[in-house]
């Protein structure tokens, strides 16, 4: 309020000056006045900008950047939650321990296995679903809603629901398999099947979401490209390869990277369905970090693993960006 008052006073002043002086003089003075006003206006714009931006910046600084730095710092210490006042710097000890930690290694490979299977399968399923219903078919909205429906449930809900479906003794899936004469499977109780069971469920839960994004992408491909291809006598398969796929490239890339990052964050499914078992075959990286930090309270070591985890996620993202960029160049 104050500012606007003073500026209107200035304005009045200017008018008075202009009135009392000759035209030539006014013309002489005007630019200088403008400059001054522009300067204060600039300052005011900056102040307003920071006023609008500050709350978010402060919050991000305290609750995102600071913890990020803290994780980095803790990773070089023996910070133990129960003795927060007795923290000493131990150099790279935590990091060298990672190399000899069999549990970390297992969790790492479990996570990689999960990602390597889930990412291409989910991408393919999502694209397949989108292509199937991107036509003039009857009940299109019904099918789309059906494929999308698992997305509506949270990972926790889905994990609990599928634990009951996977129940080896009286679960829905074994009962249905029994109808076809297939013997009951152990699913989550077997070291060989547990991770695969989680993978099937994860794809089922997530694919509908990416299908929606693909559908939007398909609708953005200009129809005249297809018409041109028709005139050239292109087959369906050729049209798919030369019009549809290139048209979806950016969206597929976006989905590819988001699914990969999400896959590396695997936590809820094993935590609820298997508690990391049997024999640690479903323990994921984030789960291992969580246990080390909250069950064993070893913040120092857990932070070191969190730093490694962040580096892995960043590396994967960067490698994917580079690979896909090269492809685009060819």
Among 59, 124, 228, 322, binds another protein (CB under 8 A): 59
- Which window, 11-19, 88-96, 109-117, 257-265, contacts another protein (CB under 8 A)? 257-265
Q: How far apart are CA 284 and CA 114, in angstroms?
A: 9
Which of positions 89-118 make contact with another protein (CB under 8 A)?
none
* SS3 (DSSP) at 130: helix
What backbone torsions phi and psi does residue 89 show, to the nearest 5 degrees? -80, 125
Q: Which is nearer to another protein, 21 or 44 (CB)?
A: 44
Who's near 283: CB < 8 A, 6+ residues apart? Answer: 103, 106, 107, 110, 270, 276, 277
- Which window, 13-21, 97-105, 188-196, 250-258, contacts another protein (CB under 8 A)? 250-258
Tokens in use for 246?
């290139």
Our finding on whether 264 is near another protein (CB under 8 A) is yes
DSSP 141-196: HHHHHHHHGGGGS-HHHHHHHHHHHT-TTT-HHHHHHHHTTPPPP-GGGSTTTHHH
Our finding on whether 237 is near another protein (CB under 8 A) is no
Our finding on whether 165 is near another protein (CB under 8 A) is yes
Among 96, 310, 319, 325, binds another protein (CB under 8 A): 310
Tokens in use for 273?
């369905």
Which of positions 138-157 make contact with another protein (CB under 8 A)?
142-143, 146-157
Among 225, 265, 277, 320, binds another protein (CB under 8 A): 265
List the x/- string, 281-300, binding to another protein by CB under 8 A.
-----x--xx--xx----x-
CB of 293 vs another protein, minimal distance in Å: 4
Spatial contact of 226 and 243, defined as CB atoms under 8 Å apart: yes
Our finding on whether 328 is near another protein (CB under 8 A) is no
Our finding on whether 52 is near another protein (CB under 8 A) is yes
* SS3 (DSSP) at 77: strand
Q: Which residue has the tokens 């698992």?
A: 150
Our finding on whether 195 is near another protein (CB under 8 A) is no
The alpha carbon of residue 174 and the mean position of all alpha carbons in its chain are separated, in whole angstroms, by 34
CB of 121 vs another protein, minimal distance in Å: 14
Among 20, 22, 141, 170, binds another protein (CB under 8 A): 170
Alpha helices, H only, the chain: 2-20, 23-60, 66-74, 93-100, 102-133, 140-148, 155-165, 172-179, 194-219, 223-231, 236-239, 245-264, 268-273, 285-290, 299-329
Among 208, 229, 260, 291, binds another protein (CB under 8 A): 208
Our finding on whether 231 is near another protein (CB under 8 A) is no
Q: Which is nearer to another protein, 1 or 24 (CB)?
A: 1
Our finding on whether 228 is near another protein (CB under 8 A) is no
Total chain residues near another protein (CB under 8 A): 91
Among 189, 204, 242, 256, binds another protein (CB under 8 A): 204
DSSP at 136: S
Select from 70, 39, 144 the least CA-distant residue to 293.
70
Q: Which residue has the tokens 């131990």?
A: 90
List the x/- string, 72-91, binding to another protein by CB under 8 A.
--x------x--x-------
CB of 25 vs another protein, minimal distance in Å: 28
Tokens in use for 206?
């997530």
List the x/- string, 2-41, binding to another protein by CB under 8 A.
--x-------------------------------------
């Amino acid at each position: 309020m104050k500012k606007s008052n003073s500026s209107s006073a200035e304005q009045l002043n200017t008018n008075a000056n202009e009135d009392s002086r000759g035209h030539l003089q006014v013309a002489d003075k005007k630019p200088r006045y403008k400059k001054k006003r522009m300067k204060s206006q600039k300052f005011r714009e900056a102040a307003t900008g920071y006023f609008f931006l500050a709350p978010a910046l402060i919050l991000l600084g305290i609750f995102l950047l600071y913890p990020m730095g803290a994780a980095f710092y803790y990773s070089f210490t023996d910070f133990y939650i129960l003795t927060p006042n007795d923290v000493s710097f131990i150099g790279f000890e935590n990091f060298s321990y990672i190399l000899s930690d069999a549990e970390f290694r297992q969790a790492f490979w479990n996570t990689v296995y999960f990602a390597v299977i889930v990412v291409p399968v989910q991408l393919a399923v999502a694209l397949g679903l989108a292509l199937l219903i991107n036509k003039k078919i009857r009940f299109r909205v019904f099918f789309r809603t059906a494929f999308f429906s698992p997305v509506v449930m949270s990972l926790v809900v889905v994990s609990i629901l599928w634990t009951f479906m996977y129940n080896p003794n009286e679960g829905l899936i074994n009962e249905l398999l029994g109808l076809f004469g297939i013997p009951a499977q152990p699913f989550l109780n077997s070291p060989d099947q547990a991770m695969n069971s989680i993978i099937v469920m994860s794809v089922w839960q997530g694919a509908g979401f990416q299908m929606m994004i693909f559908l939007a992408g398909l609708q953005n491909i200009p129809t005249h490209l297809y018409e041109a291809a028709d005139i050239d006598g292109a087959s369906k398969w050729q049209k798919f390869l030369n019009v549809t796929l290139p048209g979806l490239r950016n969206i597929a890339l976006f989905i590819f990277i988001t699914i990969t990052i999400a896959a590396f964050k695997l936590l809820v499914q094993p935590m609820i369905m298997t508690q990391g078992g049997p024999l640690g075959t479903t323990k994921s990286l984030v789960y291992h970090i969580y246990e080390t930090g909250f069950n064993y309270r070893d913040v120092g070591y857990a932070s070191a693993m969190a730093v490694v985890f962040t580096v892995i996620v960043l590396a994967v993202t960067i490698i994917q960006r580079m690979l896909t960029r090269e492809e685009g160049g060819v």
